Amino acid sequence: MPRRHSRASRRRSRSRRPSLRRRRRRGATVAEIRLQKVLAQAGLGSRRRCDDMIAQGRVEVNGEVIDVMGARVDPATDVIRVNGKRIPAPSGHAYVLLNKPRGVVTSMADERGRPDLSTFVEGRDDRLFHVGRLDTDTSGLLVLTNDGDLAHKLAHPSFEITKTYVALVDGTVPDSLAAKLKAGIELDDGPAQVDRFQVKDRSRGRSLVELDIHMGRNRIVRRLLDAAGHPVRELTRTAFGPLHLGGLSVGAMRDLTRDELGGLFDSVDER
């Protein structure tokens, strides 16, 4: 079933983008093409199958359910969703997920000659750069792209993108630490807190913990856990917004799927 937007959300969408009905009265612009062609180009199936999805009311454009044939859209500016999931606009941009190894500097060219991200993009001609940073001694999920606008939004604190980390720490962590970390701990640059905290395992004087945090301050996870009395020995980022590391091997990279990319755009949309 398509997601039906509230009247308020529809008004917000229409205030930013002209409705298809108003645009049809004015006439299509050069950039506008048939909706079913956009869906087919996004890999959603044949033109006939895309026609069926439109007829079934499963397609929305700028918050407006479109269930008639012949609608034209501008894929560069219109927000298109199928079954509630956003379809990214076609572009020349690249979006890559890397499982950064420990010991690699989050830089495309390190002036001190340390291992950096250039090793992983060698031979590519799309000039990728990293979204945000991971400490040199932290491994895990890092997004690479050449889409400067999206990268800026994803890295900006105002969008509050949630990150998930798994940490091996010293000491036997009590379950009660979760409430303390959620309430917040005062650090030298101000209070900080996690959104979620869970102890996954305890063994031989160490604990494996998992946490969600949307703050992006320097070495925030390490400083929080150290202030709580449990210094970090190993740290891996396993999720960034809607993206998950999954079974991607350390040092490996892959392109984002259409659904993952749509989820990324959703995470910074409407803000």
Which one from 51, 67, 110, 135 is the annotated catalytic residue? 135
Residue type for 268, please?
Answer: V
Please spell the DSSP secondary structure of 171-227, one letter per residue. S---TTHHHHHHH-EEETTEEE--SEEEEEEEETTEEEEEEEE----TTHHHHHHHH
81 phi-psi bin (left φ>0, alpha ψ -120 to 50, beta other): beta
* Residue 226 bears catalytic tag: no
DSSP strands (E only) in the chain: 33-34, 59-61, 64-65, 72-73, 80-82, 85-87, 95-100, 129-130, 139-145, 163-170, 185-187, 190-192, 196-203, 206-213, 232-240, 243-244, 253-255
Task: Give the SS3 label for residue 87.
Answer: strand
Residues serving a catalytic function are: 135
